[in-house]
Amino acid sequence: MSTVQLQSKLPNVGTTIFTVMSSLAVEHNAINLGQGFPDFPMSEELTNMVNSAMKDGFNQYIHMNGYMPLREAIAEKVDFLYGAQINPDTEITITPGGTYALYTAFATILQPGDEVIVFEPAYDCYIPQVELAGAKAVTVELVFPEYKIDWAAVRNKITEKTRAIVINSPHNPTGAVLSAQDIVELTAIVKDTQILIISDEVYEHLIFDGLPHESILKYPELLERAFVTFSFGKVYHCTGWKLGYCIAPGYLMKEFRKIHQFNAFTSDTPKQVALAGFLANRDAYLELGAFLQQKRDYFESLMKETRLKALPSHGSYFQSYSYAGISDETEMDFAVRLTKEYGVATIPVSAFYTKPVNNSVLRFCFAKKEATLNAAVERLVKL
């Protein structure tokens, strides 16, 4: 029997590093501080509200663009947080996760031959999504070890083919946060151009040390050319829900919805109904930064007993640690050995680059119960 030939659309992509390391963790009974998900429970109030929505009959398709009371609640939240007046009817779409929103934004704007500026290390979905649209990712390395943007380098990469710039703050995998000066630089670069902005803000509330979140929603001049994506899963400790949303000006959202209607079409109904009511509880998201900062600080205090050295993290679920004083192994080799021999799974930050990089850095997820963090560090002190 002959085999059907298939030309891969992503010939350079294999199994994600998250699957590889999580599988290795299971195989070696390791504590998984690699993949970014909490191991503590989400709000019982919110799960009860989902249950009530299901019992009340909210189990069929909801409007393609999302449950209107939820979109209205998001618009109210955005006004409260960022002073932005967003039209819930024409400028907000509920999506099955933040990654889906990113994919749909890329599919909306990119044509074959377009170029997209992507900062590395980068969340691993960006470049494959750009390439699936027939476009080219043009990478700019963040300046190690602070993982800051070199805006002069960005200017050098801009061409007449540049269609978009992707920003992510708080940043995955490093926890870096954009500053007000970064916004000034970005504004100057895109002014009087056709360049659009894709802003990944799924960790908007996971920001520490009293720093403000410089959301694109705060800046009308940038918002008029932006898709801004968010995740309920990151805010309410329910990553498995795969529910998020995208905000964009009406002329962009109109095209976004053309793609959306022929893909997922709509998102989970009872969870949208529950969230529409739960968003009224502002403390649930306003207190998130302090809650996760306490976990970061607790983990960092424990890690001082190890030979690993902390790099700054001002947001997200993650903090990077250097093992430069321990080994000259590649990040992947060291991460694998750490899993097999010491029983702690991490993510090598080199996995977030397209080119070979070895800064001797691993990413740890600290969004875990204290007992989990204690158990992991008990193993790491043996390094």
Q: How many domains does the chain have?
A: 2
Same domain assignment for residues 29 and 162:
no
- Domain of residue 349: give its range: 17-42+286-380
Q: Tell the burial category of 229 from Cβ atoms under 10 Å away from its Cβ (0-12, 13-18, 19+).
A: buried
Return per-residue pLDDT of the chain as tens, 383 residues: 678 988 999 998 888 888 889 999 999 999 999 988 899 999 999 999 999 999 999 999 999 999 999 999 999 999 999 999 999 999 999 999 999 999 999 999 999 999 999 999 999 999 999 999 999 999 999 999 999 999 999 999 999 999 999 999 999 999 999 999 999 999 999 999 999 999 999 999 999 999 999 999 999 999 999 999 999 999 999 999 999 999 999 999 999 999 999 999 999 999 999 999 999 999 999 999 999 999 999 999 999 999 999 999 999 999 999 999 999 999 999 999 999 999 999 999 999 999 999 999 999 999 999 999 999 999 999 99
Same domain assignment for residues 158 and 189:
yes
Same domain assignment for residues 102 and 233:
yes
265-269: Cβ within 8 A, 24+ apart: 265/61, 265/64, 266/61, 266/62, 266/63, 266/64, 266/66, 266/94, 267/62, 267/66, 267/94, 267/95, 267/96, 267/243, 268/96, 268/241, 268/243, 269/53, 269/58, 269/59, 269/60, 269/61, 269/62, 269/67
Last residue of a domain, one of 233, 262, 281: 281
Same domain assignment for residues 263 and 311:
no
What is the residue whose two structure tokens read 């998102």? 267
Residue 325 CA to residue 64 CA, distance in Å, equals 53
